[in-house]
Amino acid sequence: SSREILAAPSVRKFARESGVFLGNVIPTGPNGKILREDVERFLAGADHAQ
Amino acid sequence: MVVGELTEEVDVLVIGAGPGGYVAAIRAAQLGKSVTVVDKADLGGVCLNRGCIPSKALISAAHHYEAAKTSPYPGVETTATLDFSKVQAWKQTVVEKMTGGVKTLLKGNKINVIQGEVFFSKPDEARVMTETEGHSYRFNHCIIATGSRPIELRSIPFSKRVISSDEALSFDQVPESLIVIGGGYIGIELGQTFAKFGAKVTILEGTDSILPLFEPQLSRLVLRNLKKYDVDVVTKAMAKSVEEDETGVTLTYALGEETHTVRASYVLVTVGRRPNTEELGLDTIGIKLTDKGLIEVDEKCRTSVQNIYAIGDIVPGAALAHKASYEGKVAAEVIAGHESVVDYRCIPAVVFSDPEIATVGLSEADAKAENKEVSVGRFPYAANGRAVALNADEGFVKLIADKKSGLLLGAQVIGAEASNLIAELALAIELGATLEDVALTIHAHPTLGEMVMESAEVALGSPIHVVVR
């Protein structure tokens, strides 16, 4: 889908520093926002997959 | 090259100490880099010395003088006198305080500062010419932040009486009359300021409206105010030639098929600014430029030469101090190995006209051009208690949001303190706030900021202080 990727500046920075592309993260915040914990969950899942 | 001359080694070389350069230097130093800054003139660059700061100082003084002349408060009788040389002296102390601050910050961060001009000799080497000598510096990383300068019109070249914003900010007395060519934000800010100080001002703008980059709803109020100060605004006017004599200038301009002349003490040319990219030797090291003569950069502010970065007015995007500073931090962080990129949803833009204009994000027209369905909320200063008590009931706050999601897409403010009100709206856009988020945030009463909350309520269809028709 072509939904807009929504995340606060600090979450965008955290994702960038963690090497996570926000388009791959499932948002759980209000209005479809990606939260820091969504990025953390993605990271944990990615680690698990390895 | 002088025989036996040593090439000094530096880690990060920053060229230019404007809002981009000095911020880049400080952030790089914070991150443990050893930094050398070279600037050919004064620390603080255009913004502190010949731009933002001195212009705002003069604007404030002119505003106060004007308000005192015709006290806006019934029952408060005032008289105003003007000693312009004292105003200028004060403006200079403001500039010196701020540039002194930059000097202290650079010193405090142990940054090596050199006054001189830079010319690249190799992709990792630059020659710095100071007043007395030349030195070669080999660098690991370089950030170019050389800024911009006023554009000169070929048919109306700069002279004693054809001046740029640089000279207008340093007038030692208020000119009797002033012709401003270019009705953009610099022309309007300076034209309005000198009109308030008592100059007879004529503004010539080539397009069909002053402040052509802003929506007509915004420029209309400024235009009305300019007329109050007896400013002649001529739109669709093309300046053709100028004749200068001992006492003034006669400017010829075309208005459609007709030719007109206007006479004044000075002509101020504010048609734009051009990037300072010519004298650096960029071509000798193969730095790529865009077709507009700006330096091509990626999202990390890197040029086509791997270890050289460029920021500010010499790269694409809005020529604004805060954009330059933001890029300066990105470039410094990338050099220090951080995963930083240029990543913003919006940049606020402010015109310190009277009334002030501030915009951020998409305008209603922009949103519609992107085929977005929008909700719009507009709230007038006249319905805000604080604005009325300030005797500043002209203007409005306008929010533009996505109709379906309520996400804030843009905002426009015209009126008192618009420049400060826009900050909340920029934050709202960056955070992905909706109209409801803004409307449900309690704003202090009575403040101008309440208009932000109420314009969100207007867009949601349930405002308290205006009636929904």
Distance CA B219, CA B348 (A): 17
Q: What is the ipTM of this complex?
A: 0.87
User: Does B85 lie in the same domain as B206?
Assistant: no
In this structure, what CATH number is given to the domain that contains residue B435?
3.30.390.30
* Closest Cβ–Cβ partner in B339, B406, B432 for A33: B432
Residue B135 annotated to the active site: no
Backbone phi and psi for residue B120, each to the nearest 5 degrees, phi listed first: -70, 130
Distance CA B292, CA B315 (A): 10
Distance CA B269, CA B13 (A): 34
Q: In the beta sheet, which residues pair with residue B399?
A: B377, B411
CB contact under 8 A, A31 and B407: yes
Per-residue pLDDT of chain B (469 residues; tens, 9 = 90+): 555 578 999 999 999 999 999 999 999 999 999 999 999 999 999 999 999 999 999 999 999 999 999 898 999 999 999 999 999 999 999 999 999 999 999 999 999 999 999 999 999 999 999 988 999 999 999 999 999 999 999 999 999 999 999 999 999 999 999 999 999 999 999 999 999 999 999 999 999 999 999 999 999 999 999 999 999 999 999 999 999 999 999 999 999 999 999 999 999 999 999 999 998 999 999 999 998 899 999 999 999 999 999 999 999 999 999 999 999 999 999 999 999 999 999 999 999 999 999 999 999 999 999 999 999 999 999 999 999 999 999 999 999 999 999 999 999 999 999 999 999 999 999 999 999 999 999 999 999 999 999 999 999 998 899 887 6
* CB neighbour list of residue B457: distance below 8 Å, 6 or more residues apart: B377, B439, B463, B464
CA angle B332, B337, B341 (to 5 degrees): 60
Predicted model pTM: 0.95
The length of chain B in residues reads 469
Distance CA A8, CA B16 (A): 32
* Domain membership of residue B225 as a residue range: 162-271
CB B165 within 8 A of CB B186: yes
- When divided into structural domains, chain B yields a total of 3
* Closest Cβ–Cβ partner in B338, B343, B405 for A12: B343
The tokens of B401 are what? 């949001």
In this structure, what CATH number is given to the domain that contains residue B245?
3.50.50.60
User: Does B300 lie in the same domain as B375?
Assistant: no
CB contact under 8 A, A31 and B341: no
The tokens of B107 are what? 């010193």
CA angle B137, B105, B16 (to 5 degrees): 40
Q: How far is A11 from chain B (nearest CA, A)?
A: 10
User: Does B173 lie in the same domain as B232?
Assistant: yes
CB contact under 8 A, B343 and A7: no
User: Does B373 lie in the same domain as B313?
Assistant: no
Distance CA B411, CA B348 (A): 9
